[in-house]
Each structure stands twice: as structure tokens, then as C-alpha cells.
Amino acid sequence: MTAIVTDVAQRATAGRIFLALLRRDINVARRELPYFLLRTTLQPLLFIVVFGLLLPRMGYVGSAYKAALLPGVLAVSLAFSSVQSVALPMVADFGWTREIEDRLLAPISIELIALEKIVAGVLQGLIAALFVLPIARLIMGPIDGLTATHFALVLFIVLLGATAFSVLGLLMGSLVSPQQIGLMFSVIVAPMIFFGCAYYPWQNLSVFPFMKYAVLINPLVYVAEGMRGVLTPGMPHMDLRAVSAALIIIIAIFWTLGIRSFSKRAMG
């Protein structure tokens, strides 16, 4: 009986601690919001201006391309704000500041500390996507799939995508050393964006069959295709069930690897 009572009390405390950790991250993120948005959304926004506004008007690309571009731009904003908001502070924390130490001393399991980072990353991904969406809408015109009836589906795909990339952030943040952070962005992140089907639908890769299957290891493909499926259903896109399954598998793999390397770094 006492054991049960303690167990319940401990779980309630763990919940309270988890929320306190989250409150800290939200607090800090709120203060750094302008920098955060600049860092994570400027690149996709510039893409919108060049490929969604300038090139169509110059006649180099057809205006239909806008519809292919929009979901991809949102996917990139969502994915890379999630991965960055988890990975960047973590690299600094484990690399030299050790500021995370005060949270590692909290009476809560290490898995919950890592999970809190994921939740904070998902929230920041959502914020970045919500910021980019109206601007994209303004420049590129109405979005077919953005209706009230579709909303739950949009949110579902968005949450899966943000989670996958937050978990990837956990893995990267706990594996990469501060010296390699620049390398990580040019060697991993940049190819991921260009081969992530963000700026062209996956099915059109049939013109390069090898590439069409090689890019399937890239998690961004599923986020971009998922966004395409819910936002511009008229465009060619992957089956949403396949997208969801792939993202869930990716989350499971990255979490397993990520929590292992996070624990290893956290334990001295």
C-alpha cells in the first residue's frame, strides 16, 4: 500500500518536474524568438521569394511549380527548426558549458529529461511552421488542403514530422562535438534538404530511378511528401499511410539510438 502511494506520489512529482523543465525551455525560447525565427525560417522564406515569386514571373518555371514548392518549404521550416532547437543547445551543453548539469541533477529519470527536449523541439518546429505558413500563403496564393475538415490530418502529419526531427536533434546533439557542428550542417543538413523532395515531388524522381530509391533513407522525404499529401492533395504524393508508418519507424530508430548516446554523454 505504502509502496503504491509512494509510486503515485513519485509519478506526480516526475510530471511536475517534467513540466518545470519544459517551462524553462519555453521561457528561454520565447526570449530568443526573433533570433530563432531568423535562424530557422529565413532560408525557406528566401526560397519562396526566388522560386515562388521571381522565377515564375520571369517565366523560367511554370506557376504550377508553386504548388510543388509550398509543402516542401513548410516541411523544411518544420524539420530544421525542430532539429536545431534540440541539437544546437545540446552540443554546447555537452561540449563545454555543462549548463545542462542542473537539469541532470533533477530527481527524474534521464529518459524523461531527453523526452522533454523532444517536446520542446516539437513546439518550436510548430512555431516556425506557423510563422512561415501565412507568408507563403501571401506570396503563393490559396492552399487547397488547408481547410477546417483537413485540419486534424495536417496537424497529425506536422506533429509526426516535428517529432522525427526533434529526435534526430537528440541523436545529433549528443553525438556531434562543437568543432564538428559546422561540418554537420554542410555535410548532413544541406544534402538532406536538397535530396529531401522538398522542392520537387518524390514521384517525379522516376526520371532518376536510382535516386528515387536512394532518397528514401532521408527522413525529410516523408515530411515533405506528407505535407504535400495534406496541403496540396492534387499534386503527386506518397500515400499518407506509408508516410506515417515511415515516420513512426524513423522516430523509433532515432529515439533508441538518441537516448543511448544522450545517456552516455550525460553520465560524465
Partner 1 sequence: MLSSAPSHGHSLPSTATIYIPSVTNAAIRTEHLRKVYTTAPPKSGRGAPGIASDASRAAADRRGGSEIVALESLDLEVESGEFFGLLGPNGAGKTTTIGICTTRVLPTSGTAIIEGADVRTQSTLVRQRIGVVPQRPNPDSSLNVRENLVFHAAYFGIARSIANSRARALLEKLGIAERSEAKVMQLSGGQQQRLMIARALIHEPRVIFLDEPTVGLDPQARLDLWTILRDLHSQGRTIVMTTHHMEEADKLCDRLAIVDQGKLLAIDTPEALKARAPGGTMIELVLDGSGEALMLDIRAVPGVSSAEAKSEHGSNSVRVYSDRGGEVIAALVTIATAHARAIRDIHLAPPSLETLFISLTGRQLT
**Residues engaged in binding partner 1 (CB under 8 A):** 10, 13, 16-17, 20-21, 23-24, 27-28, 31-32, 97-99, 101-109, 171-172, 175-177, 179-180, 183-184, 188, 257, 260-261, 264, 267-268
Dihedral sign for Cα atoms in the order 213, 214, 219, 225: negative
DSSP reduced 3-state for 109 = coil
Measured from the CB of residue 205, what is the shortest distance to partner 1 in angstroms?
A: 21
Measured from the CB atom, the residue of 73 and 171 that comes closer to partner 1 is 171
- Helix (H) / strand (E) element for 37: namely helix 33-47
Distance CA 130, CA 114 (A): 25
Q: How far is the CB of 96 from partner 1 (least distance, A)?
A: 10
Give the whole-angstrom CA distance, residue 28 versus residue 76: 23
Nearer to partner 1, 177 or 204 (CB): 177
240 or 257: whose CB is closer to partner 1?
Answer: 257
Least distance CB 206 / partner 1 (angstroms)? 26
Q: How far is the CB of 36 from partner 1 (least distance, A)?
A: 12
Of 104 and 126, which has the nearer Cβ to partner 1?
104
Q: What angle do CA 196, 76, 25 make, to 5 degrees?
A: 130
Contacts of range 177-184, beta carbons closer than 8 Å, 24 or more positions apart: 177/91, 177/95, 178/91, 178/92, 178/95, 178/96, 181/88, 181/91
User: How far is the C-alpha of 149 from the C-alpha of 143, rounded, in Å?
Assistant: 14
CB of 193 to partner 1, least distance (A): 16
Per-residue CA distances from 35 to 2, 31, 38, 73, 85 (Å) = 50, 9, 5, 19, 12
- Which one, 27 or 63, has the nearer CB to partner 1? 27
- Give me the least distance between CB of 224 and partner 1, in Å please: 19
The half-sphere exposure of 162 on its side-chain side, counting CA atoms within 13 A, is 26
230 or 247: whose CB is closer to partner 1? Answer: 247
Which CB, 12 or 211, lies closer to partner 1? 12
Burial (CB count <10 Å: 0-12, 13-18, 19+), residue 94: buried
